[in-house]
Amino acid sequence: MIPIKFLDDVMSLKRVPRSGWITYRIGKDDVESVSSHSYSVAVIALMMSETMRLRKQGVDVEQVLKMALLHDLSESLTFDISKAYLRYLGRQGSRMKTRLEEKATSRVLEDLQNDRLARTFRATIKEYSSSNSLEARIVHSADALDLLLQVIEYGKMGYSKATLDPIWRETRSKLMKYKLPLAEEWSRQLQRIRTKLRSKPRQASSRRSMTK
């Protein structure tokens, strides 16, 4: 039988905004959805994995893709919990987020109605959260690279460098901890691209413009 409830949860991610961008003053009409982010992360992770394999590094590409596609699954129930909200909660913020996401993940996986598949997916998400395996580090790095690419995209849309600089610095710093030479190499290339970028003054969002 088709796991329709599980797929409904997946479909709902198309409507869940990446609310953390609002913290950085991105207009709500320009905020990407969780599903669009997950797709980009999966493609970046795939490109990284295949590049590393060409360089004779052993990578389980299937596991990478599983992690990339499932890593934000819990947000179909929790929505995107921003870092600003976690800072408001103080020291307990991160622990509360982890517990909430674990419970949400278990709830969503119940809708698979397949215990064996649910165990497989749960183990995949747990591996991602631990950040220990090479495959998990690739996906975390892909997640960070997607943020950098999105910053560049917002810069092209006219958002100011001052607005976007904090998330750029924070993300590049976070990327370093995964210690993947390829990710660091790509990060440096993106830095050069952003340095050369000349943003035009921001106008009304394209969605609004199309309705006028």
Domain ranges of the chain: 4-202
State the pLDDT at residue 85: 62
For residue 132, the 8-state DSSP code is -
Distance, in Å, from the CA atom of 37 to the CA atom of 8, rounded to the nearest integer, reads: 18
Q: Is 29 helix (H, G, I), strand (E, B) or coil?
A: helix
**Residue 192 CA to its chain's centroid (Å):** 22
State the pLDDT at residue 207: 40
CB 27 within 8 A of CB 126: no
Residues of the chain with pLDDT under 70: 80-89, 93, 199-212
Distance, in Å, from the CA atom of 35 to the CA atom of 75, rounded to the nearest integer, reads: 10
Phi, psi (degrees; rounded to nearest 5) at 33: -90, 160
CB 161 within 8 A of CB 64: no
State the pLDDT at residue 203: 57
For residue 71, the 8-state DSSP code is T
According to CATH, the superfamily of the domain at 4-202 is: Hypothetical protein af1432 (1.10.3210.10)
Q: Nearest-CA neighbor of 82 among 39, 130, 45, 34? A: 34
